[in-house]
Amino acid sequence: MEIQISLPKQTNRDYAITIGDLPEISLPGKAAIVTNPKVAGLHLEKVLRKIEATELYVVVVPDGEEYKNMETIEFILDRLFDHRLDRKSTLVAFGGGVIGDMTGFAASIFQRGVDFIQIPTTLLAQVDASVGGKTGINNRYGKNLVGAFHQPRAVYIDTEWLKTLPSREFSAGVAEIVKMAVMFDEEFFQWLEKSDLKDEENLKEAIARSVKLKAKVVKEDEKEKGVRAVLNYGHTFAHVIENFSGYGNLLHGEAVAIGMVMANELAIKIGLFSKEEADRVKSLLKRYELPTDYEIESAERFYDTFFLDKKSHDNRITFIVPESIGHYRMVENPEKSVVVDLLRNYEKGKKS
């Protein structure tokens, strides 16, 4: 005997990203703002002024990737229960990517899922974490290994917070913008080459274009089975670099910048990308003082570390590389020797 269970189509999960001065936000029930001590000290006053809810709470968690774990999630959940938030309550993620990932994950499992809104305060979180619905935490096995897909109800991108952002963090965000342009939009890349993102109007424009590109990708592939993998351009190398460097020494966007340079070299080696195009990407990254070089101990060990990453199944690996600026290509299982060859150039003392 077999009974077929049909489920209703999920609806009502579309949402808007608003770029500009944080508007007044009126929430229907209780709400809790989740933030960290630094962001709270600098900017919480403005947010408290703008958000209205029947009851409003502030939950402050420690700053940094090393606290992005289940213990902090339980801390957040406990505060929500203490103050009797319910299924109609809303969480507000106010901070960078770590705060967004954790608040989104807490929202996804609190009473089996409540609404959350995002007010990202770093450029990286504004362009990257604000679209896609990925939430999660790290554990001793690796990064983002536990989590959920949970879409925010709304995202508010206010560039005012960026005025207090350290310049290295600003640049790390630029790396993700460059990534989107190289993968998907040649015209956008050319615009980036001639525009200064320190100018606020240019910056808003770049954020908007980057977010729109990502939204298009996510729409096609919410759960990362196809084209969404293209967003991992530079990331396959970056994850290994981060693994070797220890979290916190290189910013994620910095590792991605190096990773894109490596991916471009792989593309050249397999006849896809031109040296001239690779140089244009590198010089755009350098303009924002992003690193484009990295010293590794052993090319072989670097290569082996790819397969510890969760994105590789059955010792297969896919590299995302540009075919030309604005066009991507997925390269499945390239010859090991080709990859190791390019990595050897990064071994100590080998790099010219």
Q: At what angle do helices 186-194 and 167-184 cross, to 10 degrees?
A: 140
> Between residue 84 and residue 113, which ones bind a copy of itself under the rule CB under 8 A?
86-88, 105, 108-113
Q: Are the C-beta atoms of 217 and 269 separated by less than 8 Å?
A: no
Site for a copy of itself in 269-328 (CB under 8 A): 310, 313
Distance CA 258, CA 127 (A): 19
- Under the binding rule (CB under 8 A), the answer on residue 42 touching a copy of itself is no
Among 97, 147, 234, 253, binds a copy of itself (CB under 8 A): 147
CB-nearer residue toward a copy of itself: 7 or 352:
7
Catalytic residue among 30, 79, 153, 239: 239
Residue 164 vs residues 18, 41, 58, 243: alpha-carbon distances, Å: 21, 11, 21, 28
Least separation in angstroms between CB 251 and a copy of itself: 23
Is 163 in the active site? no
Residues that contact a copy of itself, how many (by CB under 8 A): 62
**Beta-bridge mates of residue 91:** 32, 116
Q: Is 298 helix (H, G, I), strand (E, B) or coil?
A: coil
Please give the single-letter amino acid code of residue 212.
K
Query: Catalytic: 223?
Result: no
For a copy of itself, which residue of 139, 167, 283, 298 counts as binding (CB under 8 A)?
139
Give the residue, chosen from 1, 276, 332, 349, that forms a contact with a copy of itself under the rule CB under 8 A. Answer: 1
- Judge residue 90's burial from the number of C-beta atoms within 10 Å of its C-beta, 0-12 exposed, 13-18 middle, 19 or more buried: buried
Query: Contacting a copy of itself (CB under 8 A), which of 37, 45, 81, 187?
Result: 81
Edge-to-edge, what's the strand order for the sheet holding 115-120?
55-60, 30-35, 90-95, 115-120, 154-157
The least distance separating a copy of itself from the CB of residue 339, rounded to whole angstroms, comes to 21
Query: Which range touches a copy of itself (CB under 8 A), out of 6-14, 182-190, 252-260, 288-296?
Result: 6-14
- Is 176 noted as a catalytic residue in this protein? yes
Please state whether beta strands 142-149 and 134-139 pair in parallel, antiparallel, or not at all (unpaired): antiparallel
Tell whether residue 17 is a contact of a copy of itself (CB under 8 A).
Answer: yes
Pick the piece of the chain touching a copy of itself (CB under 8 A) from 40-48, 160-168, 217-225, 317-325. 217-225
Nearest to 211 by CA among 260, 259, 176, 238: 176
Q: Does 136 bind a copy of itself (CB under 8 A)?
A: yes
Q: What is the DSSP letter of 10?
A: P
Are 36 and 83 spatial neighbours (Cβ–Cβ below 8 Å)?
no
Return residues touching a copy of itself (CB under 8 A).
Answer: 1-11, 13-20, 29, 70, 74, 77-78, 81, 86-88, 105, 108-113, 131, 133-136, 139, 141, 144-149, 151, 204, 208, 211-212, 215, 218-223, 310, 313
Active site residues: 112, 134, 176, 214, 224, 228, 232, 235, 239, 252
